[in-house]
Amino acid sequence: MTLCAPAKINLSLSVLGKRPDGFHAIESHFVTLTLADTLTLEAASESGIAFTCSDATLPCDDSNLVVRAARRFFETARIPAAVRIHLAKAIPHGAGLGGGSSDAAATLRGLNALHGAPLAAETLHALAAELGSDVPFFLAGGSAVCRGRGELIEPLPFPTPLPLLLVKPPFGVPTPWAYSRWRDSHEIPGVPYAPQRFPWGTLVNGLERPVFEKYLFLAVLKRWLLQQPEAAGALMSGSGSTCFAVLRNETGGPALEARAKEQFGDVWTCLCRTRAA
C-alpha cells in the first residue's frame, strides 16, 4: 500500500494565549500542498515494526513519529505488530510544513485500511491528537480552520489553487521555542507583519514576531519576497523556517526561484500549489 503524505502551509495563524495545559491556543487556516512525502506499508511475516527512511538524517527508532504512530495503532487495535514501512521524504524537516505530522497521520490511515478498519474515525482522531497538535488535521487534509491547540478542526472550502514558491534556509526553528517567546517578543522596525488581504483569504502569522527577532534571515527573506514582481504575497509558514510566496501566476515561478537561489545561496526551494478544493 502506497500513501501520499502532503505538506501544509498556514495561510493564517493567530496565537490566542497560553492554555492551562501548557499549550498555546491558536486559530489557524491550514491548507495542504502538492508537495508530499510517500509512505509504503506492507504486512510482514516477521513480528515488529520495520521502518526505513530515504533521509539518513532522520531517526528510525521510537523518536520518529511514524514509528510512534504505528506502535500506538497496534496497541489500540490490539493487533500484533507485523509491518514494514518505508518513508520517502520530499518535505524538509524543521520547516513549518508539517511533514512529520503528515507522515504520522498517513501511517494511522494506512494501517487502519491495511487491517480492515478496526479503529473508528473518532479513535483515530484521538490517537492523532496524542501524537501531535497538527496530526489530526492531516487525517483528512485539504483546507480547514484549526483551533484549540490544533486538534479542533473545521473544514473550510478553498477552491482557489494558489501557485507557490517555498523557500527554506538550511536551519530549522524549534516550534516549542517559538511559542515560548511569543508573549515577550516585539516587531522589528521596517519588517512587514500586517495582514495581507486577498479575495481568497488573509495572510498573517503571529509567530513571525518571535521568530524574526532571533532569525533575522527570515525577516529579510520575507521582505525580499514581497518586493518581487512575481509575488502577490509572502508569509512564514507555521513556526518556520519556510517562507512562501503566493505567485501571481505559475509562469513567473521559475524566474523567482532562480533569483531566490542567487540572492540567498544555500536554500531549499520548491514550486508547488495548494490542493484543497
- Which residues are tagged catalytic? 8, 134
CB 211 within 8 A of CB 220: no
Q: Which three cell numbers stand for residue 238?
A: 507555521
Give the Cα separation of 111 and 191 in Å (integer). 45
Q: Alpha helices, DSSP H only, in the chain?
A: 65-77, 99-114, 121-131, 135-140, 175-180, 208-214, 216-226, 253-264
User: What amino acid occupies position 51?
Assistant: F
Determine whether 187 is exposed, middle or buried from the number of CB atoms within 10 Å of its CB (0-12, 13-18, 19+).
middle
Which of these, 157, 184, 1, 174, lies nearest to 86 by C-alpha position?
Answer: 1
Instruction: Give the Cα separation of 192 and 212 in Å (integer).
Output: 11
